[in-house]
């Protein structure tokens, strides 16, 4: 009982400490997605050759909003596979706001962001290059008009508030940011509480031993956890790293492999028998990229 109360106290304190940073981060995301959606879609249509570079930086934005949007655009062949991979690799879901709220991990955060951009650029352009070299026959991409994309984004940002005539009433960005903040705080609290209970009950040494004292085993397992299409996966990996349960390279592998709910959107939007196999191939590729990235990072930054 003492272990539970101590874990509950720590989880509550950690969650409250993250509140201001989380809200500011999501306020920025809400502003960009609601107010700049038309400019964003026009920009994408004019920058296809620079797609992986654009994706690498957009993926760094907290939350998995951009991975979801890019999955939809990829299903419509508005972006290349390399761009999608770059976004997925760069996406850290909820890792950034959580680590921002922990000042002692600022260096790790900056290293993680920098490395994620580098790996996203490398793998994104590599995928596009390989496809251009070996894919002799390609299906023509379906032209997507900017106006159509703008309509899709307006619809997505409406969240069902309509006047019955097809006109959308967008949410207040402050309320939207608050909603996302409270939502992710639940995940943070649950993940922190569960990890705290385990740590208090069995000890961090035992937990580390169970997860795997070998960093390469940690990388393999973290990569699998990262594939879980939910922000709880990124929260769990970051909280485990913060508590000393896994190495930085293992956390990095898991965060590179995962793309939050972007994976779910990919399977929903990219339909068909061939598309299903393609989606499975993309997920498998993401796991391999995550593991490879973790191994490379482990060589110089444990």
- Give the range among 67-71, 81-85, 247-251 with minimum mean pLDDT: 67-71
The three-state secondary structure class of 293 is helix
Higher-scoring residue by pLDDT: 48, 101:
101
The tokens for 109 are 């955060």
pLDDT averaged over every residue in the chain: 77
Per-position DSSP letters for 54-97, written without gaps between them: HHHHHTTSSSSHHHHHHHHHHHTTSS-HHHHHHHHHH--TTHHH
Look at residue 149 in the predicted model and tell me its pLDDT: 40
Instruction: Identify how many contiguous H helices and E strands the chain contains and give both numbers.
Output: 15, 0
Per-residue model confidence as pLDDT tens digits over 39-69: 555 565 555 678 899 888 888 877 666 777 7
Q: Do residues 257 and 286 touch, judged by C-beta distance below 8 A?
A: yes
Look at residue 248 in the predicted model and tell me its pLDDT: 94
Per-residue model confidence as pLDDT tens digits over 195-208: 778 767 776 666 66
**CA–CA distances in Å: residue 153 to residues 8, 80, 163, 254:** 40, 19, 17, 29
Rounded Cα distance between 93 and 60, Å, is 8
Closest CA to 227 of 267, 197, 171: 267
For residue 79, is pLDDT > 90? no
Q: Do residues 99 and 108 touch, judged by C-beta distance below 8 A?
A: yes
Per-residue model confidence as pLDDT tens digits over 275-299: 889 999 999 999 999 999 999 999 9
Look at residue 291 in the predicted model and tell me its pLDDT: 96
Output DSSP code: residue 171: P
What is the arithmetic mean of pLDDT over 69-78?
Answer: 80
End-to-end CA, the chain: 35
Per-residue model confidence as pLDDT tens digits over 129-179: 998 888 755 444 444 444 444 444 444 444 444 444 444 455 688 888 788
What is the arithmetic mean of pLDDT over 123-134?
Answer: 90
Rounded Cα distance between 243 and 131, Å, is 41
Tell me, yes or no, if the pTM score tops 0.75. no
Could you give phi then psi for residue 60, rounded to 5 degrees? -75, -15
What is the arithmetic mean of pLDDT over 7-23?
Answer: 76
Higher-scoring residue by pLDDT: 5, 180:
5
């Amino acid at each position: 009982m003492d272990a539970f109360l101590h874990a509950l106290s720590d989880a509550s304190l950690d969650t409250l400490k993250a509140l201001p940073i989380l809200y500011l981060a999501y306020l920025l995301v809400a502003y960009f997605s609601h107010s700049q959606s038309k400019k964003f879609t026009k920009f994408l249509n004019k920058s296809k050759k620079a797609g992986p570079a654009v994706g690498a930086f957009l993926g760094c934005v907290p939350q998995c909003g951009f991975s979801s949007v890019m999955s939809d655009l990829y299903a419509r062949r508005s972006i290349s596979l390399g761009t999608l991979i770059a976004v997925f690799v760069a996406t850290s879901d909820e890792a950034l706001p959580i680590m921002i709220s922990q000042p002692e991990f600022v260096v790790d955060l900056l290293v993680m962001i920098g490395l994620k951009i580098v790996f996203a650029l490398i793998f994104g352009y590599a995928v596009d290059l390989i496809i251009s070299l070996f894919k002799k026959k390609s299906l023509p991409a379906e032209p997507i008009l900017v106006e159509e994309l703008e309509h899709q984004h307006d619809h997505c940002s409406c969240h069902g508030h309509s006047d019955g005539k097809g006109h959308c009433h967008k949410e207040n960005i402050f309320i939207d940011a608050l909603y996302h903040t409270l939502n992710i705080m639940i995940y943070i609290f649950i993940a922190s509480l569960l990890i705290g209970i385990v740590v208090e009950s069995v000890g961090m040494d035992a937990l580390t031993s169970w997860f795997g004292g070998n960093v390469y085993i940690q990388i393999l397992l973290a990569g699998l956890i990262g594939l879980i299409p939910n922000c709880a996966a990124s929260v769990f990996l970051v909280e485990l790293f913060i508590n000393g349960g896994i190495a930085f390279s293992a956390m990095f592998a898991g965060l590179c492999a995962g793309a939050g709910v972007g994976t779910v959107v990919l399977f929903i939007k990219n339909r068909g028998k061939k598309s299903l196999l393609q989606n499975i191939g993309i997920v498998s590729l993401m796991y391999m990229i995550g593991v490879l990235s973790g191994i490379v990072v482990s060589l110089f930054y444990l």
